Amino acid sequence: MIQLFTLNNRSITRFVYTIIILLTTTQLVDAQVKPLDSVMNLLNRNEIPQLREIVKNNDVKLLDDNDKALYVLATGGIKYAVDDFENAYKDLQQAKSLSSNKRVIFMANDYMMELSNSTSELHVAPESLMEENLAIATELNDPALLIKSKFYFMFKDIQMGNFKNAQDICYEMRKISIENNLRQELIDTEFNLGTLHYYQSRNDSALFYYEKNLADVVAKKDTFDIAVRLNNLAMLQMAIGENQAAVDNLIKAKVLIEDKNDKELSVGLLRNIADAQTAAGNYEEAINYYNQFISEEDSLERTTIAQNLKELQTKYETAEKDLENAELISKNLTSENRIYLLLFILACIIGLGTFILNRMRQKQRLLAAQAEVQKQREEKLLRDQELAGIDAMITGQEKERKKIAQDLHDDIGSSLTTARMCIENVIGKSDQVENKKILENAYDLLNDTYTKVRNISHAQKSSVLSSHGLIGTLEQLAGRINAGKSIQVEVVHHGLQGNLSNSMELGLFRIIQELLNNTIKHAQAQHASIILTGYEDHVSIMVEDDGKGFVQGNSSHTGTGLDSIHTRVQNLDGTMEIDTKLERGTTINIEIPFV
C-alpha cells in the first residue's frame, strides 16, 4: 500500500494513511508572560527539552491551580512526545479541570483530540471536545483557533468517507484564512484542499493546489514541509501515470530528511520509492529499495516486540509479589511463559503470512495493471483511426469553404461590380426623372447584394485560430474581457506545445468560449481561471470561478448553454464534471483525448 504522510505542530513522526495536515495553532499564549506561561509557546514549537527543564525546576505542590494546570499541561505534552498516550491523556484532563483560562482549556482539548486521532487511523476524536473547542474559538473571536477547531470536523468527515462535507469545511477554513491574512493557515488549508480533490479523483485540481503549495513551502525553506509535499505530489503523479517524475520527487524528499532522525518517515519513503520504481519499470532499483525497506521495517518491529516483552515481564514481576506459594509461582511462571512464547510465535507466523500475502497481491495488481494498459492501447488505436477520419472530413470541409469564398469573390463579386458600374453610368446619362429613379433603386439593390456577397466571402475565408493558435486566441479573449473591468480572467497552460490538431483546437476554443459566456452572464463572479494541461494521451481543461454557483439538476440554473457544452465534449469523446454549490463558486473539469 502506498504510504501518505500527516504533519502536525507537535509530533512530526506520526505516520498514518492520510495526507491531511493538522493546522498549526500560533495564538494560544496570553500577552503577559509568567515563568510557567512559556509552556504554551514551547508546546506549539514542540521544544520538549525546554519543557523538561520547566517541569524539573518547579514544585507542583507549591503552585496555585492555574499554574498547576500549565505544569500538568507540560507533562502531558512530554508524555505524548514519548508515546505514553494513556498517562498523557490523564494529565491533559487534569490541566483542563484546574484551569480557568479558555486558551489553556482549548490546548488541552486539542491535545486530547490529537491523541484520539493518533492511536488509530480509523479513530475519531470525541464529539464533545470538538464542540467545546468550537464554542471557545467563537467566544474568543480568534480566527486561528476557529480554523483549528473546524479542522477536526473536517478530519472526522474524511475518516467517515464524507469527502464532500469535508471539502465544504475546508473552503470555510480557507475563507477565514484569507479574510484574516493568516498566511500559514492558508498554506496548510490549501494543501488539504488539494488532498480532498485527490481523494475524489480530481487529479487536475489536486495537481494545481499541490504545485502551488509546494512553491509556498519552498519559499519558506522548511525542509520537512518540502519533503512531505514532494511525497504527496509523487503519489498524485503515480496516479496520473507520471511514474519517473514520482521517483525523482520521492528521492528528493528522502535526501531532505536524512538529518531529521525520523525513522518512521524514512522507512515510509523507502517503501514509496520502491513502489514508484516498480511502476516506472526500474525493477533493479525497485528491488534495492524494497530490500532497504524490509531491513528498516524489521528493525522497527523488533524494537516494538522487545518493548512488549519488557512490559509483560514487569507485569509478571509485580504479580509475583502477591503469590504466597513458591511452587505455585513456579508452575504459573512456566505456564505463562509458554503461553507468551506461543503467542509470540503465532504473531510472527501471522505477520510473515500477511507480508507474503501482500506481496502476492501486489504482483497480481501489477499483472492486472499491465493487462489494462494493453487494453487501453488497443482502444486508443481504434479511436485514433476513427478520429483521423473525422479530422480529414473537417479538413475537406474547410477547403470547400475556402473554394466557395474564392468563387464568390472572383466570379460573382466581379460580375456584380461590373453591373453596378454600368447602372451607375446609365444613371448619369438619363434625363427622365422616372427612369432615373428606377435605375437608382436597382443600383441600391445591386450594391446591397454586392456587400452581402463580400461579407459571406470574408466569413468563409476567416478562421478563428488561423494566426494566433489556441493559447494566443484565449489570451486575446481574456484580455478583451478583462478590459471591461467586471470580471478578471487568467489563462494558465502547461504541456500543450504542438500536441493539438487544428480541428481539436477549434473544438476546445468553442467549449471554453461557451463556458466563459455562461460565467459572465450568470455567475456574478469577480475572478475566473482557465487552466489547460497537456498529458501524453489527453488534454485537461479546468474553468473555475468564485461566483454564486448553482444547484445542479435545477432547470432554473441550467439551460442550453451547459447542454451545448456537454454535447461538444461528447462529440470529442471527452468527459465533463461539474463541482458547484450556491455561494461557493463553480469548478468545471473537462478531459478530451488527443486525436
Q: What mean pLDDT comes out for the span 77-93?
A: 85
**Among 180-189, 550-559, 569-578, the least confident range:** 550-559
Q: Give residue-wise pLDDT tens across range 417-474.
A: 667 677 776 776 666 666 667 777 777 777 777 777 766 665 554 444 556 778 888 8
Region 469-593: CATH code: 3.30.565.10
Query: Mean pLDDT lowest for which of 243-252, 333-342, 544-553, 579-588?
Result: 333-342
The strand ranges marked E within 54-182 are none
Nearest CA-CA partner of 170 in 187, 148, 193, 188: 193
Q: What percentage of the chain reaches a pLDDT higher than 70?
A: 71
Mean pLDDT of the chain: 77
CA angle 496, 501, 506 (to 5 degrees): 90
* Amino acid sitting at position 463: S
pLDDT at 13 (0 to 100): 34
Tell me: the pLDDT tens digits for 273-318?
Answer: 988 888 888 888 888 888 888 877 655 444 443 444 344 344 434 5
Average the pLDDT over 563-578 and give the result.
88
| Residue 497 near residue 533, CB atoms below 8 Å | no
pLDDT in tens, 12-65: 333 333 456 655 444 444 433 346 878 888 888 878 888 898 898 888 888 999
DSSP string over 170-184: HHHHHHHHHHTT-HH
In the predicted structure, residue 548 carries a pLDDT above the cut 70:
yes
C-alpha cell at 339: 503461553
The 3-class SS string of 385-414 reads HHHHHHHHHHHHHHHHHHHHHHHHHHHHHH
Average the pLDDT over 463-488 and give the result.
Answer: 78
Q: Report the C-alpha gap between 213 and 221 in whole angstroms.
A: 13
- How far is the CA of 417 from the CAs of 1, 200, 381, 513, 529, in angstroms? 77, 64, 53, 38, 49
Q: Are strands 488-494 and 538-545 parallel, antiparallel or unpaired?
A: unpaired
Q: CA 259: distance to chain centroid?
A: 28
Report the side by side order of strands in the sheet with 538-545: 488-494, 527-534, 538-545, 586-593, 575-580
The residues spanned by each domain of the chain are 28-141, 305-387, 398-461, 469-593
pLDDT band, residue 408 (cuts 50/70/90) = low
Contact 167, 193 (CB under 8 A): yes
β-pair type (488-494, 586-593): unpaired
Residue 476's identity, in one-letter code, is Q
DSSP-assigned beta bridge partners for residue 587: 544, 579
- Cβ atoms of 245 and 210 closer than 8 Å: no
Q: Which of 195-199, 308-312, 408-412 shows the lowest per-residue confidence on average (mean pLDDT)? A: 308-312
SS3 479: helix
pLDDT at 220: 81
pTM: 0.47
Query: Above 50 in pLDDT, residue 390?
Result: no
Residue 77 confidence (pLDDT) above 50:
yes
**Spatial separation of the C-alpha atoms in residues 358 and 363, rounded to whole Å:** 9
What residues contact 93, with CB distance under 8 A and at least 6 apart? 108, 112
485-521 burial string, b = 16+ CB within 10 Å, else e? eebebebebeebeeebbbbbbbbbbebbebbbebbbe
* Residues with Cβ within 8 Å of residue 254, at least 6 apart in sequence: 227, 266, 269, 270, 273
